[in-house]
Amino acid sequence: MGTMMGFEYIYEPFSYAFMIRSLIVAVSVGLMLPLLGSYVINRNLGFMGDAIAHASLPALVFGLLIGVNILIAAIPAAIFLALLLGYLINKSNIGEDTAIGIIFSSFFALGFILLSIFKNIAFNVEDLLFGQILGVSSFDVSITLILTTIVIITSFILYKQFLFISFDPKGAKVAGIKVNLFNNIFLVLLSLSIIAALQSVGIILVLSMLITPAAAAKLLIKSFPSSIITASIFGIIASLSGLYFSYYLDFPSGPSMALTATLIFIIVWIIKKTFLYKLT
């Protein structure tokens, strides 16, 4: 590595198959989390995203126990969680944050109890919490690509409905839009994207990739469709940086991505403060 010059640092890692796999996962995660994050920050659903990530821990442990790929174990669990949270928010009168908080903490606690009971699980818990993008398998890549395709295509074709129910839920209901159905579809997409990101960003920091690139884009761009695209570009930059930091410095990928996303946010904030206007 010491003899490398300039651009070699950028492309040299991709002479390894595992780095190609990691690259695909990084770009997928960087693309889809901020895409949904643009809705999440404007609908104040950040806590919900964090809850889905944390509450998936028991499913991940269960997957490890029975020896299936953790993504396979987590996907049905995340869909269940999304629908459960959606139901509780609609039907319960205990308040949105309270309902999410109860699910979040109890499922996360259950996950750790399971981990303490089954100490023989051959898995590094730190990787689960903080991400280890270099460890993804070909199967992980396939699942991530499928999830990314589902998330992007669904968000694209249901853009009008998602925008309507986000901006004016009552008006949407009055106009005959099935608000609960589209809300549930959105929550399921959110869960799927979070699950796809768990291996690279980790449970603890998945929120950073969900909201920070979207928040930076919102500072810079006013138009909602343009801010979605900008958020995804920022997300890809942040996730690729996580890949390089992991490769060259052996940093956990989650914190690397989170800090790069924050750095992007700070740079954008300074640019905005300096020029004092918003691009359109």
For residue 50 the two structure tokens come to: 């964090």
Q: Which residues of 187-226 are buried (b: 16+ CB within 10 A; e: fewer)?
A: bbbbbbbbbbbbbbbbbbbbbbbbbbbbbbbbbbbeebee
Two tokens, residue 183: 């809300």
Cα separation values, 32 from 126, 209, 240, Å: 24, 10, 14
Q: Residue 4 or residue 153: which is nearer to other proteins going by CB?
A: 153
Q: Report, in Å, the least distance between residue 92 CB and other proteins.
A: 16
**Least separation, in Å, of the C-beta of 206 and other proteins?**
22
For 136, phi and psi rounded to 5 degrees?
Answer: -75, 140
Sign of CA dihedral 67, 60, 35, 270: negative
Q: Which residues bind to other proteins, rule: CB under 8 A? A: 41-43, 156-161, 163-164, 166-178, 181, 222-224
Q: Which pair of tokens denotes residue 86?
A: 């959606």
CB of 268 to other proteins, least distance (A): 17
Min dist. Cβ of residue 272 to other proteins (A): 15
**Nearer Cβ to other proteins, position 113 or 181?**
181
Residue 119 or 160 with smaller CB distance to other proteins? 160
For other proteins, the closer of residues 19 and 36 by Cβ is 36
The residues pairing with 279 across neighbouring beta strands, listed in sequence order, are 221
Nearer to other proteins, 62 or 224 (CB): 224
- Smallest gap from Cβ 159 to other proteins, in A, equals 4
